[in-house]
């Protein structure tokens, strides 16, 4: 059974991205074991001088979750036309240990627009050698109008996410 780690790029406790992750987890059903990383806000600010062994406890925990996962699902908003700083910070902590190297990633950018954040994040993920096929990426503009506590309410968005999810699960 494949193991998927979900990472929410938002630090808000009740975020739209959290709802999208919940909806995708429901779509996964029993096809994989899903673990959700609690919050990228738990990680300290990246400092190369602190990127030594042993790593800070929260960083070590994050890295362990990445290492045992077969694939990573990232769902993120766009902040100020870019990647949320806390998500970029989390990715920075993986550079020296190559925890995302050759890991399949499903990337969902769920925001008002999201195009700039998605492009930037794809660049970062590819530099750290994550596997992010175009088929496993989804841009969900006007996300707040397409998801609620019951799941993805927009049929076209649900179909697009299901398509990307099927490709992601096949890559695992």
- Helix 85-92 × helix 115-127 angle, to 10°: 10
Question: Total domain count for the chain?
Answer: 1
0.85 exceeded by pTM? yes
User: What is the CATH classification number for the domain harbouring 143?
Assistant: 3.40.50.360
- What is the separation of C-alpha 22 from the centre of its chain, rounded to a whole number of angstroms? 12
User: What is the pLDDT, as a whole number, of residue 14?
Assistant: 87
User: What is the pLDDT, as a whole number, of residue 15?
Assistant: 94
Of 8, 24, 11, 16, the residue nearest 111 (C-alpha): 16
Domain span including residue 82: 3-171
* Burial degree of 39 (CB within 10 A; 0-12, 13-18, 19+): middle
**Residue numbers in the chain where pLDDT is lower than 70:** none
Residue 157 structure tokens: 């968005």
Q: pLDDT, tens digit, for every residue of 50-86?
A: 999 999 999 999 999 999 999 999 999 999 999 999 9
Backbone φ and ψ of 95, nearest 5°: -60, -50
């Amino acid at each position: 059974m494949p193991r998927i780690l979900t990472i929410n790029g938002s630090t808000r406790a009740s975020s739209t991205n959290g709802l999208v992750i919940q909806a995708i987890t429901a779509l996964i059903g029993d096809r994989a074991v899903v673990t959700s990383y609690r919050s990228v806000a738990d990680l300290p600010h990246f400092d190369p001088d602190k990127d030594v062994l042993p790593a800070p406890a929260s960083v070590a925990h994050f890295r362990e979750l990445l290492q045992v996962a077969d694939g990573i699902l990232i769902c993120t908003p766009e902040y100020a036309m870019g990647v949320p700083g806390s998500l970029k910070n989390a990715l920075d902590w993986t550079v020296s240990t190559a925890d995302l190297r050759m890991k399949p990633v499903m990337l969902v950018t769920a925001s008002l627009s999201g195009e700039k954040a998605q492009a930037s994040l794809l660049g970062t993920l590819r530099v750290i050698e994550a596997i992010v096929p175009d088929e496993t990426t989804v841009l969900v503009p006007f996300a707040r109008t397409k998801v609620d506590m019951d799941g993805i309410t927009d049929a076209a968005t649900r179909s697009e996410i299901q398509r990307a999810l099927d490709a992601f699960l096949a890559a695992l």
